[in-house]
Amino acid sequence: MEKPAVIFDLDGTLVDTIADIRLAVEASVTDLGLGSLSNELVKTYVGRGLANTLRGVLSSFSITVTEDELRERTGRLVEYYRRHAVVESRPYDGIIELLERQQEAGMPLGVLSNKEDGLAKSIVATLLPTIEFVLVRGQRSGREIKPHPSTIGEFCDLLGRSPDTMLYVGDSEVDWQTAKAASVPVILVGWGFRPREALRALEGALFVDTVDELEEAINGV
C-alpha cells in the first residue's frame, strides 16, 4: 500500500513561533502606545498571513487603519521578523524525531504556510535542517494562500498524486478549510494556536493531543 504524502502547516504545528511573531507585531506598533502584547492575543490572529495578523491585533484595540498604513506597518513587521524569526522559535518536542522517522519510512513530506515564502523556507532550513521536504511553500505574490485548494494542489502536481493519497496536518480552522477544499484528509493538533474545543468541533477532522498520537494517526491512514 502506498504511503501517504504528508503536508504540514508550519506555525503552531511543527514550530512554536508565537513569541517571535508577537515581538515583530510589537515592533510594528510601538508608536501606538499599546505596550506589551500577550502571546494569547497574537495567537488568535495567526494563520492568514502577517498582514492579517497585524490587522486582527489592531482591531482588538478598536484601531482601524487605512490599507496604505496597514501595508507600511506590515512592512515594518516583516523587516523586523526577517532579522529575528528564530530567536525564540523552536520545534515542538518530538517533532524532529517524528519527521525523521517518517522520512526514513519513505513518506514524502512538505510544508505549507501562509507565512511569506522566503521566511517559511528560512525558518524550516534553520530549525528542521535534517528533513528533506519535497516542497516548502509559503505566501508568494500573485499566488493563492490557504485556504484555497490550489495550495495543496501544488503538492499533488509536484508528486503526481491524487488528493486521496495526501494527508494534511495543521492546528487551525484555516488548515481544516484548506484540506476540506482540496478533498484531502486532515489531522488537527492540539498543541498549536487554537483552542482544543474549537478544533474538536470541526467536522471530518481527526484531532490529536500529542506527537505520539499524531504518529499513530499518520501511520493508520
* Interval 20-44: pLDDT, tens: 999 999 999 999 989 899 999 999 9
Assess whether pLDDT exceeds 90 at residue 3.
no
If one looks up domain 5-16+89-219 in CATH, what number appears?
3.40.50.1000
- Which of 9, 11, 171, 175 is labelled catalytic? 9
pLDDT, residue 14, reads 98
Strand 15-16 to strand 90-91: parallel, antiparallel, or no bridges (unpaired)?
antiparallel
**Measured distance CA(112)–CA(136) in Å, rounded:** 6
Assess whether pLDDT exceeds 90 at residue 49.
no
Is 9 designated active site?
yes
Q: What percent of the chain has pLDDT over 70?
A: 100
Angle between helices 211-219 and 95-104 (to 10 degrees): 20
pLDDT, residue 47, reads 84
Residue 1 pLDDT level (bands cut at 50, 70, 90): low
| Domain 18-83 part of CATH 1.10.1200.10 | no
Domain boundaries, the chain: 5-16+89-219, 18-83
**Measured distance CA(48)–CA(55) in Å, rounded:** 11
Assess whether pLDDT exceeds 80 at residue 74.
yes
pLDDT, residue 180, reads 97
Residue 77 pLDDT level (bands cut at 50, 70, 90): very high
Residue 7 pLDDT level (bands cut at 50, 70, 90): very high
- The number of beta carbons lying within 10 Å of the beta carbon of residue 1 is 4
Residue 69 pLDDT level (bands cut at 50, 70, 90): very high
Query: Given this chain, do its domains 5-16+89-219 and 18-83 carry the same CATH topology?
Result: no
pLDDT tens string 113-162 = 999 999 999 999 999 999 999 999 999 989 999 999 999 999 999 999 99
**Measured distance CA(65)–CA(42) in Å, rounded:** 18
Place of cell 478598536: 62
Residue 110 pLDDT level (bands cut at 50, 70, 90): very high
